[in-house]
Structure 1
Amino acid sequence: MSTLIRKRALYRLLRSRLRRRSGRRAEPLLSVVLPVYNIERYLEPCIESILGQSFTRLELLVVDDGSTDRSPQIARRFAERDRRVRIVRKDNSGLGAARNTGLAHARARYVAFADSDDVVLPHAYRDMVRMLEKTGSDFVVGGFRRGDEERFHVPDWVQRVHASTRTGLTIEDHPEMLLDITAWNKVFRRSFWDATGLEFPEGVRYEDQVPMTEAFLRARTFDVLKSPVYLWRTRGDGSSITQQKATRADIRDRLASQTRSYDLVREHGSEVVRRAWLVKLFGYDFPGYFQAALIASDDYWELLREQMTRIRAEMSDDALAAVTVYPRMMSALLADGMREAAEDVFVFNQRHPSGWPTEERDGVRHVVAPLEAAGDVAPVLTMVTPADRHPRSRLVDAVWEGSTLVLRGFAFLMYVDDVDRALAVRLVDDVSGEVVEADVTPVEFPASELRPGREFEDHSRSGFMARIEVVDLVQRSRGPTVLWRIEVVQTYGGVTRAAGFTGLDNAGSVGVRPTRVVDGHAVRLHGTVSRGIAVRVAAHWAIATEVRSSGPGAMRLLIDSPVDDPVVGLHAETGEARIILERSGGIVVAAQLAAGAGEARPLRALHRSGASSPVVLGSGVELDGDPTVGTPLSLAGGRAVHVGRPAGAVLVDAVRAEEDALVVEGTAWGVSASTLQVMGPRAQTASASQLGQGKFSVRVPLVDDPWGTGDAPLPSNRYVLAVREDQETPVTLTAALRHALPAPMEAAGYRWQLSGRQNGVDLRPIALADDERGAFQQGRRQKAYTTRRSAERLDVVLFECFAGRTVGDSPLAICRALRERRPDLERVWSVEDRSAAVPAGTRAVVRWSREWYELLARAKYLVNNNNFPAFFAKAQGQVHLQTWHGTPLKRIGHDIHDAGLMSRSYMRMMDAEARSWDFLISPSPYCSQIFPDAFGYGGPLLEVGYPRNDVLLAPGRDDSRERVRKGLGLSPDQRVILYAPTWRENVRDGGRPAKALYLDVEAVVRQVPGAVVLVRGHANTAASASAARAGVVDVTLYPDVADLFLAADVLVTDYSSVMFDFAVLDRPIHLLAPDLDEYRDRVRGFYVDLEDVAPGPVHRETNSLIAALVDGDDARWAPRRSAFRDRFAPLDDGSAASRVVDAVFDSAGEGR
């Protein structure tokens, strides 16, 4: 029997069976209030996340709070195409007033709030409104994710207070919910809001804390959702209101909201609730102000200290012990006015974020912290309490052995030895309350694989293997679908901590999650860390046991389903997709999919009973496709099948290492003329041969020669396998290969770790041995380093440049000078990885390796242009030469007015470094006036010129220029413009420094005859990639910038020290500085007036610069360039390195 079921008819059937909503317009059930003020960068994704909710009966009230950017136009575009959007305009008066205005216009039964730089997660409003409709509670609160533009996480406290879904609570039942006092992850019953008289304070920050606290205290009942409903975005540029903590206005508003909220807690809360509030303040609110308190003005410090002193006076030792040790100690020290001691502890924590050392006193474990400045402190401040013993666990493997699901992972309690705690794994059905214990056996786990690792704790005995007998789970399951939530239970000292996995290794078998049929039920691993990992047992299922192409854009699937509830239909929302079903043998359905346009959507099966289930790929089954056009199928989590437009795809079934390359084998569809590449942010290589159609085998190099200087291993970073010509084409691993991962392979000087994702393949080079990797192993190495510093000196010069990221700058010039002058000294380079090419006659040692620590401890000479790590302490008899890395225009070190630009740990480290320097190079009298005070340095200054500029004046510089230009692929007649801006502390990308590229390089290439632009980012932005463009070469990773100076005809910079070096060549220099006023006056500050001393014109925008480049009248700037050299580079004559060797290596003695 065969039946043709067109999409429209099938859609009507599924709509009724699956309770799909109709397209009729109904009155909104939920009002979402969205204040908007100058947020154009983030607004569109925010609005899309609200209007794209599966819950459609909502109205979106966009409250324009007097925006002056494009935000109103963006909102209007949405309103024009979606009648659910209403825009309310008002004069700017802050977030609280905007929310109140939105409430005044809201007309729905429920109300929610969102911030316009955040994202509401899919299904959030559906789940929350559904919960309130079911329970009748006054409001519901969901979990949230916190992160920047790229990386998100669920804070520990959110995981704890949202550990399970709970309904009908009061604040007495769950007082820790007072931690969750943001407005945007909640939905309120409007009648409750009005009856309680809730409103947002206006004209202040932290406007949501008082009404949210009052809501918890006065609610008849509220509900808690386990799942996250909201993404609270940390802006990469640090511009959001709540990120600007180090201002008096911020601390004033924060303390006022705390005081008002605590008044409410005293009025309406019990003693238990009051204790929870105090713990919240010390443990969660005040820590956000620790750094600000240490760098801010005295009046800021006093405001915070007075508040903390008042709170400290109300806290019993029992309440203090409920706060984790770091905020407990810091809050108490600040409350007692011990600023110096607080800074010691703050810096100590920055340097040891994975945990602190401990010792036992009178049978009680205490942390060891630098408290000398505090004198005697109360024992409760250093005691390790149950609050500190956070559970950590990670699921590493999940494989089937018959009907047994075998899990492997590790679990430990922080500050607890693994042998002292009991471990169990159990499965919980939250609906029935039934609990099933798994059979657990301990296994060894390499310390190098522990994530997160602990510097002072060896958790190599934290591994476990848990065997789950699934037949038992199936027999105990009640209902069509049951989720058995997995808990890791650890008991120590009479205290039991039960929690879900805090981490997953999705790269291997855990990410595959195949479905297995056991006793007529489909069983598989399910969920995420934030939602919880569970074993899913389903009575309704549809498993594709065979997938093959049946022509361009068409697929044929064999689908297995339950005997007593077979599949009778399929559905996928994919444009004009048609699905033809052929019944065969009662339980097998052959489905032929003719896919059309549209994004990939889940393929769902409709069963005879009316139930539905996702179609998943069976174990050992892989996708297929047409050789020319690709495949319309893709896979999501749990190997769920999606259907969409036919597209190219690459399926990898084997990977092996071969000398300096990977040999990759598999099947390709629709990408016959393409090549496979290894791609990362710092390098990429591609196969020489094309993939072809069907089966392929290609060789992808793991070495690269981007600058024409010879093949070198790729820089250490995360790489992906990708189709070079279309990076959107999915490259995936077969399930069989993923099950065997992650697997290390030796190639090109590294061990490469291959791992799979749902729609991608990752590669990571590992430069360190197993006993050198991880926090614990590094901690051991640092202890050994301390001991080895007293060993005999080695006749070695250890060079380092920018933390080993490159081999260049003044250390390279000195290294070259030593070759002839001191052949008795072995020259060794500290490098980040094997990609750094070192000069002939020298060798490299990888940073953080055992040998690197040994040389750092014992080398007679240390030469650096930056700083060594914070643990470094110069040994007796070592000679430490600091070259620094540039003549400063912008303020450095202690001369920086805004202390918040440099972390306290960095400043402490630099102070210690300066005390260890035996010599500091000063390139000029100008620098000699700045360096001592800026670095707090009182030792010998070598005012000798800059060694790094010797090469610019060397006799063979013309030959070097020709060599470099040839290596970069530049012709002799091209006009080479080197664009080398500095980094901006206030320009961030995903929380990291980003390239601040204000030059329109395309316009330069287009309008300046014969121009090619070399873009050189600052060393601090080397991980930030630039897109490839015609006529533009990204040379950020070029080893030595001096070569680029030689190759360039013109320099374009801003506030970078490169202008002082390039001036030696007497070639044109242009300064592009659109943010000059802000950077000079508010960000960093300058030592001299740039416009007064500049060696070339200062431009505020690209057009002015282009006009000057086209005009070519550089001769009139020659006097300025000459004066600039005379003032800032008078000693650069090509022999600075030789003078350094004379001063340091011929007569250094034993150092200071």
Structure 2
Amino acid sequence: MPKFSVIVTFDVTEPHLQGSLDSLAHQDQGRDDVEVVLVPVAPPDAASADDAQHELTAAGPPASGEPSSAEAGGQGVDADDDPDEADEADEGEDASEQLREAPEEESDEAVDTARAEGLAAAGEFAAAPPAGLAVSLVQEAAESHGAARSRGAAASSGEYLMFVAGGDRLSSYALSYLGRSLDASGSEVAAGNVYRFNDLGTRPSNAHRSVFSRTRTGLDVHGLPALLSDRRYGNKLWRRSLWDRLPAGTFAPAAGSGHDPDLDTDLDVVRALFAVRSIDVLAAPVLLLRDRAVGDDLTSAAGISRRLAALTELSSALSGPDRDLWDSRALRSDVRSVLLRLDDADDAARKVFMDLANAYLGTVSRSVLDGLAPLHRLNYFLVRKRQDERLLEALTFQKSVELKKAPVVRRGLHYYIRYPFFEDAEAGVPREVYRADSELKVRQKTECVEWRDGRLVVSGRVGIVHLRAARRWQQQVVAFALNADTGRRIPVPVKVRRAAEYRLPDVPTAARHDFGGFEISVDPARLRSGGGWHSARWQLELVVINRGLVRRRIVGNPVSGQPERPPYREVAEDVWVRPTWDRDKKLSIAVSPVQARLREHRVTRVGARPELVLGGEFVAPPAAETRRLRLTRSPGTARLEYPLEVDGARFCVRVPVDDLVDNAVDEGTRMLRQELWQVELVTPDDRTAAVVMPEDVESAAYAAVDGYHEVAVQRTSSGHVRLRGGWAHPVVRDVSWSGRNLVLEGYYSAQAKAELVFKALGRDEEHPVALTREGTSFRATFTPADIPTLSGTLPLSAGSYQLWARVRREDGTSTDIGAEVDIELLHRLPLRMETPERSYAFADTGSDMPVLRVSSDLRPEEKGTYAQTLLRETVYPALRNEPLRPDILFDSYTGRQFSDSPHSIYAELRSREEWADHPMSWLVKDGQVNLPDDLTRVRHNGRDFYEALARSSHLVTNSRQPAWFTRRPGQVVVQTWHGSMLKRIGFDIENIRGKSRDYHEKLAWETRQWDYLVSPSPWATPILRRAFRFEGEILETGYPRNDIFFSARREAIAERTRRRLGLPEGKKVVLYAPTWRDDKYYTRGKHKLDLHLDLRRMYEKLGDDHVLLVRRHPRVVDSVPIVGRDFVYDVSLYPEIMELFLITDVLVTDYSSMMFDFANTGRPMLFFTYDIESYRDNLRGFYFDFEETAPGPLLKHSDDVIGALLDVDEVAARYGDKYKAFTDRFCPLDDGNAAARVVDRVFGAG
């Protein structure tokens, strides 16, 4: 009988099944212990199961469809989407990420192929399984995934069950890792971490990050309530004995239940978790979850009714503490996920929600409701009182930036959060609804860990959120050393110190200081027990007393750099105190008598097989009793063991190099890479002894014979031995600044071709590093203050940049390998270089990886919320009393570009003699714009920014201005705007997503500061006046930016643009420039690249005579996939899109206003509008009938775009009349003189 049964349920239309099957074939668990049961699921529109069975048998193409929304993740959130209770480290993460997945559209042809390939893959895998693997295919298609799981379980015989959805993948160690945990713990379920993936790469699932931050065994949902947010099937291994005792119907709703069988299946997992006696939670990812579209509509009356009924039904099936736990979780996540969509629902759907939510709330205990966070209490108070309009206002508030800015106020002895309707007598919300208690949390960070005069000194900053210690008496701190094993607590000295405000760098020039600094001093002698030194693990606890509130916090949260690698010290012979950070980033101080130490290492060959030889000595029990070396692959996903050769107090062990290299994990496009091995000696009764690596034993890397890989012997930050086997990593051994050049020297053991790149964290940006190699040594030079870009030479923008090696394989592909910092170099880091504009620091991340940290161009006294408040509320008003200066301030896209209509107006002014030497300035954000010498740079958010807005006589902008800006007498403000009107703008957008409640009031105030508003056409003028409620003068001149199309220099500009981009001669240029999607984002301000073009197929069909330029919207952070040779060019950073239009033969866009500009070229336009119904009806809305008016075809599928490009001349001819009508309607003023008309009216005719 097999040990593991893996049930794969897949839609008969699943196009990605082969990837799932491949991941099963590559499991490191012995195949004799595994059986695979493949269970097809009938397509949603199949007339009957018999129809589905006929299609399966005939291998014909069934109806299109991805797995259902429930199968893709259900409707519940994967983690608490709870702004009141979010951990500070997780601020900004989208805990409801699965509710906004990017759909994976396929062309008709591609889907037909996927149908055939998907069905064929299942049959072929079952007919010819990998050697030793038992595979069976259930012939009758199930009607749902829930039924398929039950059917697969019944058809299987393994001791353990695992369920995988077609299209998802398992990590190669998933079965052995989960199974080993269940074998050891005796638990009923083991759950592992989850990563997500799509065609652009793999990433950790935000929703699973906190639950799976570390390994824990033998839990239940009461011990770890966050488990209720993990509702995946594919990351869990179930004991069959548990499965068999679960009530019938737990995973397959009974017929007639009224439920769509593949909706709300996430709640089935919740039911099962309440029945589980013990569960293991394992930190390593076991499931790679494919991004899918989710289609369940929680804004319709039917969707709301179904979901709330399912939640209520689950609640009623539970009792006692289980029910209270579930109700609390459901109100904070599941019910709230419906509530947050009410602003998109109609009145009838809102009434359904109010009725059903009130019915559910009526069954919830008072203690559960009172235990909710203030924001939830407010929401449900308004629901109970049926205050619909106020509830919608509260929803707008909590979706906006207002939420994080809500202040805390004191009334009597208690604190309250000023959420909407606080102390509003008309609303009648009791003050207790807003009372803050656990929300007033301690925040703490560690900024230094060092040894001083024989004591361990730990310093940093600490305070209670919202209660800044402006005065010394407001905050006191007490510290204890806490024995993590026994609970013993001893007081240790701590000092309160004056420091910079929590979020600011702790420098004397910071904008504001308070008494939030602390410094703990630990005498290691206090850590002895029983009069001697014994192994123990200690933590440091801070007790913070602030204005009568008492909060406790274990010291943790190290800032990046030196504090992440605290030094260790010998306090007695062979006794060391070793501070380290645990997986939760808490400081752990280990008292560690040495048990064994390494004395040597080398690689020898036994025949053709190289072996790593480790030699050492026993020091103290139980090391002398050990007989095996155990290597555990971090974070515990595999084990290897080897016998020791013992000679008295010395030992030797031989580890085949191939074992380490072959057992490295490298999956999920670099994100799932496991190469590090913990080293322990093991006794016959399974006690372990750590092995120390003394300072006189050097680290080394030994190249593998293939030229790409290596094994390395390394010293950890705590002084122990660690092995690494896998890809060879370049190691930086020396670093220096030579003028503005960063010089890196190090070694790289492999012979592979490689280059170094700095890659930005959090965005798509990378920069090559000049590299020279001599044998295994390398030298690299990088000049971060002078980076060549499509916009000219610029400094690196603010942020962190990790150093990677890009290794080229013989087949032409490449992989990126993280560089490392030699441990001997760490004490010299960070190494800084200052320029007049900003600072650069070479440091390490605490996990061996080099990082270059670049500051912004703001000065210390300008950084932080307080500094900006001071500049806004004190400095700016004072500067408004100073005389106006005869200066013109230009702004394009809030300082991001030197472009658009402001640039054209600037150029027109400079062309006139009377303005040729006039003082002019340009707003620049973070130094990322090159300017001509006759413009003064104004730093966005710097003091000069506030002064320029206060004192410049003219402001010419295409962007929104800050709400605090007030035009003063004598100032002139020209708003050129930045787009023509297809999508609704301003007051015409009914549902303002992510904006504050007073958005329209701020907009009304802002538009009153404008003197002139530029209109591109007579058609646009009334829309602009209405949408902005603008009462000033509208300059109906056309957009100055479009003058370039009529310039006598346009051909020269086009030729210069082609050279800058390096485009091949003689190829047709296609520009794809989509707009961003309001609802497709990772976190606020970071949107997904909703790329539905099949770039590979485009290359195959068009690559011979076309090039494709792709321009991401500035809000989009995903990378553009580079496909083919000299085909795809990412031009997102090119400063002026009008210049790109000059070289573009065909524009492919969607709803972007650039269509109105490009129409001046007369060249073809194609509109890739795969989501037009949703975009038009749900997101933004249009000002005119786009389908009827568009000057080119509206295309739904990638293959449609390819076909239109192949036949573009015929398409252009077919749309010739519409194109002319479009141009006549929207571009009648574009003649090359718009800038002149604006200048004549605003500045006077020349």
Fold match, TM over 0.5?
A: yes
Matched AA of 1:586: A
Aligned to 1:633: 711
In the TM superposition, what are the counterparts of 1:642-721 in structure 2 within 5 Å? 642-644=723-725, 648-670=728-750, 675-680=755-760, 683-703=765-785, 706=788, 710-721=792-803
Matched AA of 1:375: E
Structure-2 change in CA distance of 1:378 and 1:704 (3 Å)? same
Matched AA of 1:649: H
Aligned to 2:277: 222
| Contact in 1 for aligned 2:4/2:160 (Cα 8 Å) | yes
SS at match of 1:150: strand
1:538-575 Cα distance to aligned partner (Å, 9 max, x none):
67865556667789977665545535525766576999
Offset at 1:1036? Answer: 1.1
Residue 253 of structure 2 is aligned to residue 253 of structure 1 = no
Matched AA of 2:1015: S
Residue 1111 of structure 2 is aligned to residue 1016 of structure 1 = yes
In the TM superposition, what are the counterparts of 1:828-907 in structure 2 within 5 Å? 828-856=921-949, 859-868=952-961, 879-892=972-985
Residue 977 of structure 2 is aligned to residue 923 of structure 1 = no
Aligned to 1:28: 3
SS at match of 1:1018: coil
Structure-2 change in CA distance of 1:548 and 1:291 (3 Å)? same
1:197-220 Cα distance to aligned partner (Å, 9 max, x none):
361445267745766666677x6x
In the TM superposition, what are the counterparts of 1:149-548 in structure 2 within 5 Å? 150=203, 152-153=205-206, 182=231, 184=233, 197=247, 199-200=250-251, 201=253, 202-203=259-260, 207=264, 222-223=277-278, 228=283, 239-240=293-294, 245-265=298-318, 268-269=319-320, 279-309=328-358, 321-349=370-398, 350-371=400-421, 375=426, 377-381=428-432, 383-399=434-450, 406-418=457-469, 420=474, 423=477, 432-435=486-489, 439-447=493-501, 449=503, 461-467=515-521, 475=529, 484=538, 489-490=543-544, 497-498=551-552, 503-505=557-559, 507-510=561-564, 520=574, 524-525=578-579, 528-530=582-584, 534-535=588-589, 543-544=597-598
TM-score by length of 2: 0.75
Offset at 1:880? Answer: 4.1
Structure-2 change in CA distance of 1:794 and 1:1094 (3 Å)? same
In the TM superposition, what are the counterparts of 1:567-966 in structure 2 within 5 Å? 570=629, 586-587=649-650, 589=652, 595=658, 598-600=662-664, 602=677, 604-607=679-682, 611=687, 618=694, 621-625=698-702, 629=707, 632-634=710-712, 641-644=722-725, 648-670=728-750, 675-680=755-760, 683-703=765-785, 706=788, 710-723=792-805, 726=808, 728-742=816-830, 744-747=832-835, 749-757=837-845, 758=847, 760-767=849-856, 768-784=858-874, 787=877, 791-792=881-882, 795-819=886-910, 820=912, 826-856=919-949, 859-868=952-961, 879-892=972-985, 913-914=1006-1007, 916-935=1009-1028, 937=1030, 939-966=1032-1059
Q: Distance in 2 between matches of 1:50 and 1:1084?
A: 46
In the TM superposition, what are the counterparts of 1:957-1106 in structure 2 within 5 Å? 957-970=1050-1063, 975-985=1068-1078, 992-994=1087-1089, 996=1091, 998=1093, 1000=1095, 1003=1098, 1007=1102, 1011-1021=1106-1116, 1024-1027=1119-1122, 1030-1032=1125-1127, 1033-1071=1129-1167, 1086-1088=1182-1184, 1092-1096=1188-1192, 1101-1106=1200-1205
Aligned to 1:5: none
Q: Distance in 2 between matches of 1:121 and 1:450?
A: 41
Q: Distance in 1 between matches of 2:144 and 2:1003?
A: 41
Structure-2 change in CA distance of 1:527 and 1:894 (3 Å)? same
Aligned to 2:89: none
In the TM superposition, what are the counterparts of 1:45-64 in structure 2 within 5 Å? 48=23, 52=27, 63-64=39-40
Structure-2 change in CA distance of 1:548 and 1:922 (3 Å)? farther
1:1089-1122 Cα distance to aligned partner (Å, 9 max, x none):
556544456665354244336x799678666544
Q: Distance in 1 between matches of 2:556 and 2:125?
A: 39
Structure-2 change in CA distance of 1:493 and 1:985 (3 Å)? closer
Q: Distance in 1 between matches of 2:769 and 2:285?
A: 42
Residue segments in structure 2 that go unaligned for 5+ positions in a row: 44-64, 67-113, 254-258, 665-674, 809-814
| Contact in 2 for aligned 1:471/1:519 (Cα 8 Å) | no
| Contact in 1 for aligned 2:618/2:650 (Cα 8 Å) | yes
Q: Distance in 2 between matches of 1:100 and 1:908?
A: 56
Q: Distance in 2 between matches of 1:110 and 1:1078?
A: 43
Q: Distance in 2 between matches of 1:253 and 1:952?
A: 56
Matched AA of 1:1064: N
| Contact in 2 for aligned 1:515/1:619 (Cα 8 Å) | no
1:1071-1100 Cα distance to aligned partner (Å, 9 max, x none):
555666776677665545556544456665
Structure-2 change in CA distance of 1:499 and 1:782 (3 Å)? same
Q: Distance in 2 between matches of 1:300 and 1:186?
A: 36
Q: Distance in 2 between matches of 1:391 and 1:61?
A: 50
| Contact in 2 for aligned 1:50/1:120 (Cα 8 Å) | no
Offset at 1:841? Answer: 1.7
Residue segments in structure 1 that go unaligned for 5+ positions in a row: 1-25, 1148-1152
Structure-2 change in CA distance of 1:493 and 1:895 (3 Å)? closer
Offset at 1:998? Answer: 1.9
1:1013-1049 Cα distance to aligned partner (Å, 9 max, x none):
4332333336634437532432210111112222334
1:796-831 Cα distance to aligned partner (Å, 9 max, x none):
444332333322111221232344465786433333
| Contact in 1 for aligned 2:731/2:820 (Cα 8 Å) | yes
Aligned to 1:6: none
Q: Distance in 2 between matches of 1:123 and 1:1008?
A: 40
Q: Distance in 2 between matches of 1:473 and 1:380?
A: 48
My pick for the range that moved more, 667-676 or 246-255, is 667-676
My pick for the range that moved more, 42-51 or 403-412, is 42-51
Matched AA of 1:562: V
1:648-686 Cα distance to aligned partner (Å, 9 max, x none):
432213333444431223333335975544344565444
Q: Distance in 1 between matches of 2:393 and 2:556?
A: 31
TM-score by length of 1: 0.80
Aligned length: 1103
Structure-2 change in CA distance of 1:707 and 1:640 (3 Å)? same
Offset at 1:501? Answer: 6.1
| Contact in 1 for aligned 2:1087/2:1117 (Cα 8 Å) | no
My pick for the range that moved more, 619-628 or 391-400, is 619-628
Structure-2 change in CA distance of 1:510 and 1:797 (3 Å)? same
Q: Distance in 1 between matches of 2:387 and 2:966?
A: 27
1:232-259 Cα distance to aligned partner (Å, 9 max, x none):
999867x3368x6434344223321332
Offset at 1:943? Answer: 1.8
| Contact in 2 for aligned 1:119/1:230 (Cα 8 Å) | no
Aligned residues: percent identity?
25
In the TM superposition, what are the counterparts of 1:1098-1137 in structure 2 within 5 Å? 1101-1108=1200-1207, 1121-1137=1219-1235
Aligned to 1:65: 41
Offset at 1:704? Answer: 5.2
Q: Distance in 2 between matches of 1:47 and 1:464?
A: 54
Q: Distance in 2 between matches of 1:157 and 1:1022?
A: 24
Structure-2 change in CA distance of 1:1145 and 1:376 (3 Å)? farther
Structure-2 change in CA distance of 1:448 and 1:899 (3 Å)? closer
Structure-2 change in CA distance of 1:578 and 1:328 (3 Å)? closer
Which of 1128, 1138, 1143 is matched with 2:1236 structurally? 1138
Structure-2 change in CA distance of 1:1118 and 1:193 (3 Å)? closer
Aligned to 1:562: 619
| Contact in 1 for aligned 2:231/2:266 (Cα 8 Å) | yes
